[in-house]
């Protein structure tokens, strides 16, 4: 057997690299050149490998025998022994090697004929071997036997493919001559990963078992299914030979004899047989290694540099700098998720915090009813009770404002809880966002815990404050019912709308108050139908309200206290209300009624006029204390008709009954009016609140938390001298660094090993040739 130093070095170099990575317990993503033996079950794979060594050392038996990949490193050596990777024991007796393989296979896969891709590594040192690394893989099978898993075929196929798909792997495709080469599973599989046949070497076994008169010459001469690396034919021991313990060396001689004497193969004899195959493989593996060496070296060099950089950073970076870097990155990610840019916006399975907040603001909040949905009947009942209670022992001819206030306030109060709910929601989003981004700090668990504690306590503090402010906001709404709110006038639009439906009763009771009153000097007094709404006082010819007689807007008006039956409306400057009427004096039928009208006017925002020098009523009612200008503009319709002077008080249009049960009692009517007013007013409050909530939460909670994180996090660790404590490396991190260190060492060592042969590349190339 021939060998040369260069080739020997190349295969050994790869073995050394393998060992180097294994010793340091490092899995490198580097594929070392190797030869994988592929074939169907019982095609003769093990027999070929055994013949390389000249020893019976592989387990034999029926069915599937090779159940874990066996990485077989053959090393030329003066002494003959074997050594496994999983044990320190040195084997000189090869029968024991056989047993150890079986035991080690069973240890991992069990005895149920299952398979595993965890390899067994066996080194065989011998003067009879050439340096070669081969991987014996489980034989392909179609049908599960015994309690083998049903997907055994698929499992074995994928295991084989896992090895042979690597470009650095040569494929030894073993096919028995007893089967048609066109159906060779080994060649089919090899073609899948090596369609041009660059890496595939064909081996034909069992040539001695071919039917008489047939031969495999066409295949062996590489004519039938040509492969770039060709075919080698071998004759192994038959089962009978094995059973008879036929010496393997004698079998090797018989093999040579077979080829030399066989009429079909005689001319090929020096290119056939196990011995020749071993030499071919050794040469081809060496060439293959040589071809792969530059790429391998380059890959190792890159990995070495990357590891060196990473390793250096871990070692060199000071705790302070690292803390700053970690916190900056954390803040960037946290903010990025909220703002929708930067950071780790890589989520595809869930909404980012920012999107979720946006959804809450723009969908949930928009549809929020603030617990204001009420049941019409119970609402009416409640309002009726409120009206009666607020009236106390007195009856009220106008809509009781206090009852309205009370009902509105009760409803607004219900909004507190939903308002606070939004604060809780956003606070949870912030907390979750924070937790998910601190999750990445597993290397520094102390830092992660401290950050979480710090930020959560701040978020909770701000949540509480924000909730307090929400309550205050609602309390403010409750403290002052703004009946002069611009939007509250919408009630008149509603009136008009209702009027157009012709529902007379409904329309009447959407007015705040109405009554026949008189105006002007008593001598010229006329009776008119007065209607008071939230912002105007109109008087009509009669209660059909078809012909308007007079109209004033109430804005900027004041009302005097009533004196007896009378009260007056004056403008802000103390001037007359209407130019044609020197004073708008209104006379009621009783002092109580006059008092109620004054109250009513005040309740819709008409200020009270308390000037003691002012002469009201009586003696010279038309002699005005006020100048004409402060005129209220009449509507076009009023202008057209002109104003008439009015006198005398007429009875109220509706004869309100105190009977609780009768329909359209005064209370019923008032309830209806209040209901509309309440709904109208609540709409305003809800609109304001919906506008305020996101602003308050964003400012008081989100912006504040972001600012807090910007200014306080790093400072907190400095001030409390926690930097070194929180930057302690976790056990995991320490393991990672250790692993990194080992990889770095392994890589460095591997480069050294390669470089030791790399300098001699030209010589090696020549040697291999």
Ligand X SMILES: Nc1nc2c(ncn2[C@@H]2O[C@H](COP(=O)(O)OP(=O)(O)OP(=O)(O)O)[C@@H](O)[C@H]2O)c(=O)[nH]1
Stretch that binds ligand X, among 64-72, 103-111, 582-590, 675-683 (CB under 6 A): 64-72
Q: Read off the tokens for 59.
A: 């387990």
Which lies closer to ligand X via its Cβ, residue 204 or residue 600?
A: 204
CA separation for the pair 379, 678 (Å, rounded): 11
CA separation for the pair 337, 705 (Å, rounded): 14
Shortest reach from residue 44's CB to ligand X, in Å: 3
Contacts of 387 (CB under 8 A, 6+ apart): 396, 400, 403, 667, 670, 671, 674
Using the rule CB under 6 A, is 280 a contact of ligand X?
no
Question: Could you say which residues in the range 90-129 bind ligand X, by CB under 6 A?
Answer: none
Shortest reach from residue 47's CB to ligand X, in Å: 3
CA separation for the pair 96, 104 (Å, rounded): 12
Shortest reach from residue 215's CB to ligand X, in Å: 14
Using the rule CB under 6 A, is 65 a contact of ligand X?
yes
- Rounded to a whole number, what is the largest CA-CA distance in the chain? 157
Provide the edge-to-edge strand list for the sheet that holds 548-553: 548-553, 536-540, 526-532, 513-519, 584-587, 566-571, 557-560, 607-609
Stretch that binds ligand X, among 5-13, 45-53, 652-660, 669-677 (CB under 6 A): 45-53
- Out of 80, 162, 208, 733, the only residue in the binding site for ligand X (CB under 6 A) is 208
Shortest reach from residue 248's CB to ligand X, in Å: 11
Find out whether 231 and 222 touch, Cβ atoms under 8 Å. Answer: yes
Using the rule CB under 6 A, is 242 a contact of ligand X?
yes
Shortest reach from residue 48's CB to ligand X, in Å: 7
Using the rule CB under 6 A, is 372 a contact of ligand X?
no
DSSP 207-238: GGGSPTT---HHHHTT-SS--TT-EEE-----
Stretch that binds ligand X, among 231-239, 399-407, 463-471, 738-746 (CB under 6 A): 231-239
Q: At what angle do helices 666-697 and 490-500 cross, to 10 degrees?
A: 130
Which lies closer to ligand X via its Cβ, residue 181 or residue 399?
A: 181
Shortest reach from residue 233's CB to ligand X, in Å: 9
Which lies closer to ligand X via its Cβ, residue 43 or residue 128?
A: 43
DSSP 139-197: PB-SS--TT--TTHHHHHHHHHHHHHTSTTEEEEEEEETTS-GGG-HHHHHHHHH-TT-
Query: Nearest residue to ligand X, using CB?
Result: 139
Which lies closer to ligand X via its Cβ, residue 129 or residue 455?
A: 129
- Out of 239, 318, 428, 635, the only residue in the binding site for ligand X (CB under 6 A) is 239
Provide the edge-to-edge strand list for the sheet that holds 132-136: 90-91, 81-84, 120-126, 70-76, 132-136, 34-39, 169-176, 200-205, 231-233
Using the rule CB under 6 A, is 42 a contact of ligand X?
yes
Using the rule CB under 6 A, is 518 a contact of ligand X?
no
Stretch that binds ligand X, among 206-214, 321-329, 391-399, 598-606 (CB under 6 A): 206-214
Using the rule CB under 6 A, is 135 a contact of ligand X?
no
Which lies closer to ligand X via its Cβ, residue 206 or residue 462?
A: 206
Shortest reach from residue 68's CB to ligand X, in Å: 11
Three-state SS for 719? Answer: helix
Using the rule CB under 6 A, is 18 a contact of ligand X?
no
CA separation for the pair 510, 499 (Å, rounded): 10
Using the rule CB under 6 A, is 274 a contact of ligand X?
no
Using the rule CB under 6 A, is 513 a contact of ligand X?
no
Shortest reach from residue 245's CB to ligand X, in Å: 12
Find out whether 268 and 221 touch, Cβ atoms under 8 Å. Answer: yes
Shortest reach from residue 332's CB to ligand X, in Å: 57
Pick the closest to residue 61 from 279, 242, 299 (CA basis): 242
- Out of 51, 68, 123, 206, the only residue in the binding site for ligand X (CB under 6 A) is 206
Q: Read off the tokens for 245.
A: 């313990």
Using the rule CB under 6 A, is 148 a contact of ligand X?
no
Find out whether 462 and 704 touch, Cβ atoms under 8 Å. Answer: yes
Stretch that binds ligand X, among 38-46, 597-605, 656-664, 742-750 (CB under 6 A): 38-46
- Out of 18, 20, 41, 133, the only residue in the binding site for ligand X (CB under 6 A) is 41
Using the rule CB under 6 A, is 46 a contact of ligand X?
yes
- Out of 9, 15, 20, 43, the only residue in the binding site for ligand X (CB under 6 A) is 43
Using the rule CB under 6 A, is 251 a contact of ligand X?
no
Q: Which residues pair with 537 in a beta bridge?
A: 532, 552
Stretch that binds ligand X, among 42-50, 103-111, 221-229, 709-717 (CB under 6 A): 42-50
Which lies closer to ligand X via its Cβ, residue 53 or residue 338?
A: 53
Find out whether 120 and 113 touch, Cβ atoms under 8 Å. Answer: no
Count of residues of this chain found to bind ligand X when the rule CB under 6 A is applied = 23
Using the rule CB under 6 A, is 237 a contact of ligand X?
yes
Which lies closer to ligand X via its Cβ, residue 145 or residue 460?
A: 145
Contacts of 362 (CB under 8 A, 6+ apart): none
Which lies closer to ligand X via its Cβ, residue 63 or residue 591?
A: 63
Using the rule CB under 6 A, is 139 a contact of ligand X?
yes
Using the rule CB under 6 A, is 215 a contact of ligand X?
no
Using the rule CB under 6 A, is 250 a contact of ligand X?
no
CA separation for the pair 535, 484 (Å, rounded): 8
Which lies closer to ligand X via its Cβ, residue 43 or residue 427?
A: 43
CA separation for the pair 29, 430 (Å, rounded): 40
Using the rule CB under 6 A, is 238 a contact of ligand X?
yes
Shortest reach from residue 177's CB to ligand X, in Å: 8
Using the rule CB under 6 A, is 45 a contact of ligand X?
yes
Stretch that binds ligand X, among 153-161, 164-172, 205-213, 376-384 (CB under 6 A): 205-213
Stretch that binds ligand X, among 220-228, 232-240, 526-534, 583-591 (CB under 6 A): 232-240
CA separation for the pair 691, 681 (Å, rounded): 16
Shortest reach from residue 40's CB to ligand X, in Å: 7
| Start-to-end Cα distance in the chain | 17
Using the rule CB under 6 A, is 51 a contact of ligand X?
no
Neighbours of 611 (CB within 10 A): 12
* Residue length of the chain: 769
Contacts of 549 (CB under 8 A, 6+ apart): 528, 539, 540, 541, 638, 641, 643, 644, 646
The footprint of ligand X (CB under 6 A) covers 39, 41-47, 60, 64-66, 139, 205-206, 208-209, 235-239, 242
């Amino acid at each position: 057997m021939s060998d040369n130093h260069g080739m020997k070095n190349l295969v050994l170099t790869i073995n050394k690299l393998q060992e180097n990575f294994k010793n340091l317990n490092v899995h490198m993503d580097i594929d070392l050149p190797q030869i994988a033996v592929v074939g169907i079950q019982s095609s003769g794979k093990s027999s070929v490998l055994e013949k390389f060594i000249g020893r019976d050392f592989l387990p034999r038996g029926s069915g599937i025998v090779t159940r874990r990949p066996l990485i077989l490193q053959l090393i030329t050596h003066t002494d003959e022994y074997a050594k496994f990777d999983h044990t320190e024991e040195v084997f000189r007796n090869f029968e024991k090697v056989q047993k150890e393989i079986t035991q080690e296979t069973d240890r991992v896969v069990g005895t149920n004929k299952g398979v595993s891709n965890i390899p067994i590594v066996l080194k065989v040192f011998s003067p009879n071997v050439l340096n070669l690394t081969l991987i014996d893989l489980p034989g392909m099978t179609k049908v599960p036997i015994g309690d083998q898993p049903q997907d055994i075929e698929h499992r074995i196929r994928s295991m084989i493919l896992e090895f042979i798909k690597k470009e650095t792997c040569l494929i030894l495709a073993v096919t028995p001559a007893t089967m048609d080469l066109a159906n060779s599973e080994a060649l089919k599989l090899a073609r899948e990963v090596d369609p041009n046949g660059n890496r595939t070497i064909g081996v034909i076994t069992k040539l001695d078992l071919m039917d008489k008169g047939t031969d495999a010459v066409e295949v062996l001469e590489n004519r039938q299914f040509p492969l770039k690396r060709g075919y080698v034919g071998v004759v192994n021991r038959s089962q009978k030979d094995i059973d008879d313990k036929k010496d393997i060396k004698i079998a090797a001689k018989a093999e040579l004899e077979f080829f030399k004497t066989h009429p079909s193969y005689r001319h090929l004899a020096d290119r056939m047989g196990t011995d020749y195959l071993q030499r071919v493989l050794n040469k081809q593996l060496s060439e293959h290694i040589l071809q792969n060496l530059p790429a391998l070296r380059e890959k190792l060099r890159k990995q070495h540099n990357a590891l060196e950089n990473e390793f250096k950073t871990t070692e060199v970076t000071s705790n302070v700098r690292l803390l700053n870097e970690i916190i900056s990155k954390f803040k960037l990610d946290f903010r990025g998720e909220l703002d929708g840019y930067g950071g780790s916006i890589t989520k595809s399975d869930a909404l980012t915090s920012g999107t979720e907040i946006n959804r809450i603001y723009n969908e949930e909040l928009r549809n929020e009813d603030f617990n204001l949905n009420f049941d019409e009947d119970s609402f009416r009942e409640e309002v009726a009770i409120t009206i009666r209670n607020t009236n106390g022992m007195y009856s009220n001819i106008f809509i009781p404002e206090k009852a309205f206030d009370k009902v509105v306030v009760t409803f607004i109060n219900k909004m507190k809880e939903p308002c606070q709910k939004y604060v809780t929601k956003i606070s949870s989003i912030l907390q979750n966002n924070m937790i998910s981004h601190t999750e990445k700090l597993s290397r520094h668990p102390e830092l992660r815990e401290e950050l979480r504690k710090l930020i959560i306590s701040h978020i909770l503090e701000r949540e509480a404050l924000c909730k307090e402010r929400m309550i205050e906001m609602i309390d403010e709404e409750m403290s002052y019912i703004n009946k002069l709110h611009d939007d509250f006038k919408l009630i008149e639009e509603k009136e008009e709308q209702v009027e157009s439906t012709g529902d007379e009763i409904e329309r009447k009771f959407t007015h705040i108050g109405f009554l026949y009153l008189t105006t002007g000097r008593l001598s010229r007094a006329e009776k008119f139908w007065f209607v008071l709404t939230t912002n105007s006082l109109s008087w009509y010819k009669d209660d059909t309200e078809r012909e308007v007689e007079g109209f004033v807007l109430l804005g900027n008006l004041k009302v005097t206290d009533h004196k007896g039956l009378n009260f007056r409306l004056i403008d802000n400057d103390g001037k007359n209300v209407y130019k044609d009427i020197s004073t708008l004096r209104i006379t009621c039928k009783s002092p109580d009624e006059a008092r109620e009208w004054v109250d009513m006017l005040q309740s819709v925002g008409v200020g009270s006029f308390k000037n003691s020098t002012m002469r009201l009523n009586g003696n010279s009612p038309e002699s005005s204390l006020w100048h004409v200008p402060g005129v209220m503009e009449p509507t076009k319709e009023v202008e057209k008709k002109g104003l008439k002077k009015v006198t005398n008080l007429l009875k109220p249009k509706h004869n309100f009954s105190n009977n609780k049960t009768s329909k359209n009692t005064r209370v019923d009517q008032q309830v209806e009016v209040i209901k509309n007013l309440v709904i109208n007013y609540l709409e305003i409050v809800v609109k304001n609140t919906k506008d305020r909530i996101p602003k308050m939460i964003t400012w008081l909670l989100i912006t504040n938390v972001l600012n807090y994180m910007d200014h306080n996090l790093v400072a907190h660790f400095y001030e409390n001298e926690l930097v070194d404590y929180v930057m302690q490396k976790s056990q995991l991190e320490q393991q990672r660094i250790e692993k990194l260190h080992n990889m770095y060492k392994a890589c460095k060592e591997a480069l050294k090993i390669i470089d030791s042969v790399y300098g001699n590349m030209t010589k090696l190339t020549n040697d291999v040739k």
